[in-house]
Amino acid sequence: MEQLVKPQHLSGKGQSPGVGLDNGGPAESVPETLPVPMADQLGAPWGGSGAIVKTTGRVFFTMGDRNGACSGSAVTSANKDVVITAGHCVKYQGAFHTNWVFVPGYTNGSRPHGTFAARKLVTTPQWQSNEDINYDVAAAAVNPVDGRHLTDVVGGQGVLFNQPRNQKMHAFGYPAADPYDGERLIYCSGTTFPDPFKLTNDLGMNCNMTPGSSGGPWFLGFNEGTGLGKVNSVNSVKMILLPWVMFGPYFGNDAKNVYNTAVRS
């Protein structure tokens, strides 16, 4: 029986976290109808401009004796310092990552807007206690660089919670495993759908992004011209039977509390 896979941090090419660790729980019977890869865009380099190319970035950290990488997004906040990402991008297998930094606008090794180090990492109680994939959400409060706050430098995306499901969304990230290399911003778009196996409460989207994209933002109301939208989930996990589908956690009150805690940090 195929099983849900949880995020797993991998060393090697791209030094990126990924998916592939069995969670030990049996899957439901295979549904008669599975989502098919018919998204507006399964995964392609972002060729546009706008705010998205500055607010999205790569996340780098140390996990034990290994280096890792994820994706994240600068969002609007009262303290001007908040990055939204995935829970496993700040904590995994019982310990918070160290040396955590956010590099907005990363492209082909360049760091055009600087490197912002975290002063506080926050995740949901459910992820912190038992790494529940339904609550794979996190935020970081980052330190200013040269006296300038993150969103003063790159701007910020909006963020929404407790929204209706099954809407058109755009997803962004820096996938680092084949066929990607982590050096360019990649996006997907399409209408989200429920987990067909009913193993999670996540949102699903047809998207072939790979490890390294974890924590990258999912937007409601994304404007491809301005590059602005409202973050309403993040790249989180894939399943063995659905390699063309990315799943992201529902942003409910627990995600909202994570955001509010980071704002106060």
Tens-place pLDDT, residues 98-107: 999 999 999 9
Pairing of strands 158-159, 138-142: unpaired
Distances (CA, A) of 7 to 44, 203, 248, 261: 22, 16, 12, 24
pLDDT at 112 over 90: yes
Helix, coil or strand: residue 122: strand
Distance, CA of 55 to CA of 77 (rounded, Å): 13
Rg (CA), the chain: 17
Confidence of residue 36 (pLDDT cuts 50, 70, 90): low
Q: Which domains does the chain have, with CATH numbers?
A: 37-264 (2.40.10.10)
Average pLDDT value for the chain: 88
pLDDT number for residue 37: 55
pLDDT tens-digit readout, 74-105: 999 999 999 999 999 999 999 999 999 999 99
